[in-house]
Structure 1
């Protein structure tokens, strides 16, 4: 054994789910099996000789319930292990519903020169043909790949960068996509074939110099409140007014098309921005991004999806509060 260590952090999700019937892939309960038992159920992982797998259970939740305290705990454990000289990589088992959000959050707060690999499953551990074991094997293969680095997601034989990964299907096992940019690479019989270079950890243009550091996340008594709204036919501005009265600090709008907003919604959003609420436009289109135009009153998300724009805006506000 080489002495190199891969730390596997468990957070629950479908990959750790169980069902009363082996053929039931939707009527299961998530987050029932511990991460150590998940690894023990994959003989090929036990046979590894070039690394040591170290497990920690950070959380045990259905990822639809992901929240700031779990993100804080996960970021701290990642930061701790990334500093250890004998740790080669981190693998995180996660639910599929909010995996893209956790991946982007970690991308923004970690200096992840080493690989941080999130993996998951669309079928529970008790399924007749669970996808979790293969995804775990593929995640470890990515973690062991020379030159690998940054935060990535691995599922159904594909490797996706944190910036672009998105869940695009509620049921099928290949539920993730990177939109029109395509996967970062593929895992084929334990080997990674890249289509482009590994992601470099660089702050997004939206977060700028106020990008939240780990210290801000730890010290903050309460994270900034940022909500997501959608523009649609017949949209109303009433919800904007209600959120402003309730003390919201940031609003991300999932706009139609190229950042367009229903006029009944746009007027109160501009008013909210003038009152000090941060407003950011994204698009509800699954591919492409908002192309800004001269004279835009509301800023765009620099290509981030609504949920990722929310995270970056939240961290930006958190960083400003720490100045």
Structure 2
């Protein structure tokens, strides 16, 4: 009887040890994902559960956001850091540099498989594209936000964050550049844009379409962006503490040179002209553009339209005027590429190569 009891105890100890090992193995098998929080609506709160307009952004810290989605622990080993606590309309170059450097530090660590960045939706496409150009790793980086504050009925933040963590920890997302994931959809940082002021399906890629879906707790990819990104770019922000000033001048009927002259007087090294149609330049603007080039200011022709290629030597003689065209980049993303390009060169031919490469 005593021998039987000892055998039972021994068997129980073995089973407990095996169960413990299995639990440890399961934890080790889960991807390690770091969430970097910057604020935004996903961390916002409203006065009531029906407040979806007029709420206060950037109220919750990263720990509270993680705690609000306990399911995260089932799909990844998650930890968080607070990089900033702002509404994304207040995003700055300085925060971008701080964020990019921290992302690169984390992704260089063997025990980090991917990074999620929580962000306000107003400038999410800009931050994502900046990171797409300066992150030096093939590991997944996913930028995520929400259109409704955390206190709202049917808040979209929790499911968006859950999907983003799965995506950042997945092998399928490796090497696909920085991704933007909301509303069960996966978009490329270079191509995505916010298209509606308030609906949850606001993020779209005009004409080219999104990359895939999040469904059944896993990503489903159907295409990839063909432009170089992340570890394959020539840009390095590790030693940068600031970026060159680049401003956007918006095209409209009856525009004049006042805004462009003011931007140049304020120290702009580059101007993105968000022209009408195919990046057309008004006749009265050409003297201002020529004066800008004489001062060494780079001028990029983009379009306010929102989709399509800005054709070189189409609506302006770009070769003669020594201008650069943005290809398919909208004005806000053209600004980002020009800022980074100006850290390398002021040669317009080299800058044009960059616009056709990235």
Q: TM-score with structure 1 length normalisation?
A: 0.91
Give the superposition deviation at 1:266. 2.7
In 1, are the aligned partners of 2:179 and 2:186 still within 8 Å (CA)? yes
Instruction: Please identify the structure whose Cα radius of gyration is greater.
Output: 2
Give the superposition deviation at 1:223. 2.3
In 1, are the aligned partners of 2:38 and 2:85 still within 8 Å (CA)? yes
User: What is aligned with 1:97?
Assistant: 122
Deviations 1:246-290 (A, max 9, x none): 322110011111121111123211221122001101111122121
Gaps of 5+ in 1: none
Q: Call closer, same or farther: CA 1:246–1:146 in 2, change over 3 Å.
A: closer
In 1, Cα distance between equivalents of 2:137 and 2:331: 23
1:179 aligns with 2:206: yes
**Partner residue of 1:80 out of 92, 105, 118:** 105
**Partner residue of 2:305 out of 268, 277, 285:** 285
In 2, Cα distance between equivalents of 1:310 and 1:78: 22
Higher mean alpha-carbon deviation, 285-294 vs 165-174, is at 285-294
User: What is aligned with 1:111?
Assistant: 136
Higher relative contact order (CA 8 A, sep 6+): 1
4+ residue runs over 6 A deviation: none
In 1, are the aligned partners of 2:101 and 2:238 still within 8 Å (CA)? no
User: What is aligned with 1:2?
Assistant: 28
Q: Secondary structure at the match of 1:26?
A: coil
**Partner residue of 1:197 out of 200, 224, 230:** 224
Q: CA RMSD for the aligned pairs? A: 1.9
Q: TM-score with structure 2 length normalisation?
A: 0.82
Higher mean alpha-carbon deviation, 118-127 vs 254-263, is at 254-263
Q: Secondary structure at the match of 1:248?
A: coil
In 1, are the aligned partners of 2:307 and 2:330 still within 8 Å (CA)? no
1:252 aligns with 2:272: yes
Gaps of 5+ in 2: 1-26, 347-358
Q: Call closer, same or farther: CA 1:162–1:199 in 2, change over 3 Å.
A: farther
Give the superposition deviation at 1:302. 2.6
In 2, are the aligned partners of 1:148 and 1:198 still within 8 Å (CA)? no
User: What is aligned with 1:29?
Assistant: 56
User: What is aligned with 2:356?
Assistant: none
